């Protein structure tokens, strides 16, 4: 008899990032990347926070070999810190160009991956390394696990 899955207890993933230049980070992620503002709060001592809607959230856990493999595919060398944030977009090339104009630094241009996405790697405000990725095929059209090798089926 198959075990029943309990109801999910997590309703939202919220990544909290400290940004020394708060205004630049807000301008980049809200205005340039286009993440809609959900709420903003301020407090004593110039404390400020803005909550931006980033769409559906997932937590991708990769072992060191997978992290190295993703870096090799996207960039050609090991560059990622322990945490990297990935954003799925409709047009990776246009979004990359817009983010570069907004102050990001390019680590690698849009690159086609074995898992059928177009990924660019950028250094962004708030000391974040980000991947901008565009799915090039529907989930049904993407290669299966056996087609790209073990542990190479990341969505980014």
How high is the mean pLDDT in each 10-residue block of the chain (156 residues)?
A: 73 93 97 97 96 94 94 94 94 98 97 95 96 90 53 44
Q: What is the pLDDT of residue 152?
A: 40
What is residue 5's predicted lDDT score, i.e. its pLDDT? 75
Instruction: State the pLDDT at residue 153.
Output: 40
Q: Which of 117, 116, 69, 125 is nearest to 93 (CA)?
A: 117
pTM: 0.83
* 3-class SS of residue 108: strand
Residue 129, classed as helix, strand or coil, is strand
CA–centroid distance for 6 within its chain: 28
* 85-88: strand order across its sheet: 85-88, 128-135, 117-124, 105-112
Tell me what pLDDT residue 4 has. Answer: 76
User: Can you list the positions of beta strands (E) in 29-104?
Assistant: 37-43, 47-52, 85-88
Q: In Å, how far are 66, 90, 93 from 150, measured between CA atoms?
A: 9, 27, 28
Q: How far apart are CA 143 and CA 127, in angstroms?
A: 33
- What local confidence, expressed as pLDDT, does residue 1 receive? 52
How far, in Å, CA of 93 to CA of 91, rounded?
A: 6
Please report where in the chains the tokens 């073990």 appear, as a residue.
150
């Amino acid at each position: 008899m198959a075990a029943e899955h309990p109801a999910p207890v997590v309703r939202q993933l919220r990544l909290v990032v400290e940004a020394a230049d708060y205004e630049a980070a807000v301008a980049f992620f809200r205005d340039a990347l286009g993440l809609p503002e959900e709420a903003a709060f301020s407090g004593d001592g110039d404390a400020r926070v803005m909550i931006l809607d980033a769409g559906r959230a997932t937590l991708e856990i990769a072992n060191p070999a997978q992290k190295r493999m993703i870096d090799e595919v996207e960039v050609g060398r090991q560059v990622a810190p322990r945490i990297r944030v990935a954003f799925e977009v409709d047009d990776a090339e246009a979004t990359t160009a817009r983010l570069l104009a907004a102050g990001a630094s390019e680590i690698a241009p849009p690159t086609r991956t074995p898992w059928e996405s177009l990924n660019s790697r950028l250094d962004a405000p708030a000391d974040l390394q980000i991947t901008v990725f565009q799915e090039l095929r529907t989930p049904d059209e993407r290669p299966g696990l056996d087609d790209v090798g073990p542990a190479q089926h990341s969505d980014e």
